[in-house]
């Protein structure tokens, strides 16, 4: 029996400094998928670029590699592969080589793939519209407004407590999201999740490794504060 080989593709929108955890989570989920379905990993490709860009170097290298070797190209979610409907022209002849962890170890249905690409594209457009609309509204009220606030640190000092609480809420929400993604990848035991977070280098807000106790506190934060 010939071995089944796979190529991993991951994408984050900005930089390794800002989105290192995004790639780490994608890698963990893809690794789990490859192990579960008996593939042998051949190569890993990573892009730090917008999903609307069809000319991403590593994506095109990954697709070319898959086509030439006959390996499947494994991506976590459809929106990690692309946030552009135009990408369909490049992948339509190679659907049999594509695998998305969120859809299982099967060739993606053309209808489902079209819908998910459409959703990813619309989400990108909606985000862009919201940002532009917010800036234009502020600019209309203050024509001399520049993007950002040079006096942010000074102006926000009286709001320090509120800011810290908001930062804590955002941090906890991010960790909850990461844990949810790990759950979907098959990691359900709290101790195993703690080990995985520490393995990926994801720290607590104080810069320490996670323990079962502080992870449970983070996971229950929103419930306690919304209840």
Residues 107 and 167 in one domain: no
Residues 161 and 63 in one domain: no
The answer to whether residue 131 sits within a structural domain is no
The answer to whether residue 157 sits within a structural domain is yes
Question: Rounded to whole angstroms, how far apart are CA atoms 59 and 44?
Answer: 10
The answer to whether residue 14 sits within a structural domain is yes
The answer to whether residue 133 sits within a structural domain is no
65 exposure class (CB count in 10 Å sphere: 0-12, 13-18, 19+):
middle
Domain at 51, CATH number: 3.40.50.1390
Q: What pairs with residue 74 in β-bridges?
A: 8, 99
**Token digits of residue 59:** 């994506």
Residues 101 and 161 in one domain: no
Q: What is the pLDDT of residue 91?
A: 93
Question: Rounded to whole angstroms, how far apart are CA atoms 10 and 170?
Answer: 24
Residue that terminates a domain, selected from 116, 134, 160: 116
Residues 110 and 175 in one domain: no
What's the chain's Rg over C-alpha atoms?
21
Residues 44 and 110 in one domain: yes
Q: What is the pLDDT of residue 212?
A: 92
Q: What pairs with residue 40 in β-bridges?
A: 5
Helix, strand, coil: what percent of the chain each, to 5?
60, 10, 25
Q: What pairs with residue 5 in β-bridges?
A: 40
Q: Are 68 and 85 in contact (CB under 8 A)?
A: no
Residues 42 and 93 in one domain: yes
Q: Are 90 and 61 in contact (CB under 8 A)?
A: no
Burial track 200-226 (b if 16+ CB lie within 10 A, e otherwise): bebebeeeeebeeebbeebbebeeeee
The answer to whether residue 13 sits within a structural domain is yes
Q: What is the pLDDT of residue 93?
A: 94
The answer to whether residue 176 sits within a structural domain is yes
Using CA atoms in the order 208, 212, 214, 215, what is the torsion angle rounded to 10 degrees? 100
Q: What is the pLDDT of residue 9?
A: 97
Residues 105 and 168 in one domain: no
Q: What is the mean pLDDT of each run of 10 residues along the chain (227 residues)?
A: 87 74 88 94 94 93 97 94 90 95 91 82 67 63 62 47 68 86 85 87 81 90 53
The answer to whether residue 109 sits within a structural domain is yes
What domain range is 182 assigned to? Answer: 149-226
Q: What is the pLDDT of residue 70?
A: 96
Q: Are 117 and 87 in contact (CB under 8 A)?
A: yes
Provide the number of structural domains found in the chain.
2
Residues whose CB falls within 8 Å of the CB of residue 11, separated by 6 or more in sequence, listed in order: 26, 46, 47, 48, 49, 51, 56, 59, 75, 80, 81
């Amino acid at each position: 029996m010939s071995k089944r080989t796979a190529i991993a593709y991951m994408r984050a929108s900005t930089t390794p400094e800002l989105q290192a955890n995004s790639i780490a989570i994608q890698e963990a989920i893809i690794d789990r998928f490859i192990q579960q379905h008996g593939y042998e990993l051949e190569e890993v490709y990573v892009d730090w670029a917008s999903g609307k860009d069809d000319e991403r170097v590593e994506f095109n290298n990954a697709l070319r590699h898959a086509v030439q070797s006959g390996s499947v190209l494994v991506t976590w979610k459809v929106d990690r592969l692309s946030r552009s409907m135009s990408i369909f022209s490049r992948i339509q002849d190679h659907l049999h080589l594509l695998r998305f962890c969120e859809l299982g170890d099967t060739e993606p249905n053309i209808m489902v793939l079209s819908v998910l690409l459409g959703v990813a594209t619309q989400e990108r457009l909606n985000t862009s519209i919201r940002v532009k609309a917010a800036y234009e509204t502020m600019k209309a009220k203050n024509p001399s407004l520049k993007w950002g606030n040079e006096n942010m640190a000074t102006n926000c000092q009286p709001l320090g407590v509120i800011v810290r609480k908001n930062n804590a809420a955002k941090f906890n929400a991010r960790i909850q999201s990461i844990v949810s993604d790990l759950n979907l990848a098959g990691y359900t035991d709290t101790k195993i999740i703690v080990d995985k977070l520490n393995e990926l280098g994801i720290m607590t807000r104080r810069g320490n490794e996670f323990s079962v106790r502080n992870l449970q506190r983070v996971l229950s934060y929103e419930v306690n504060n919304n209840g």
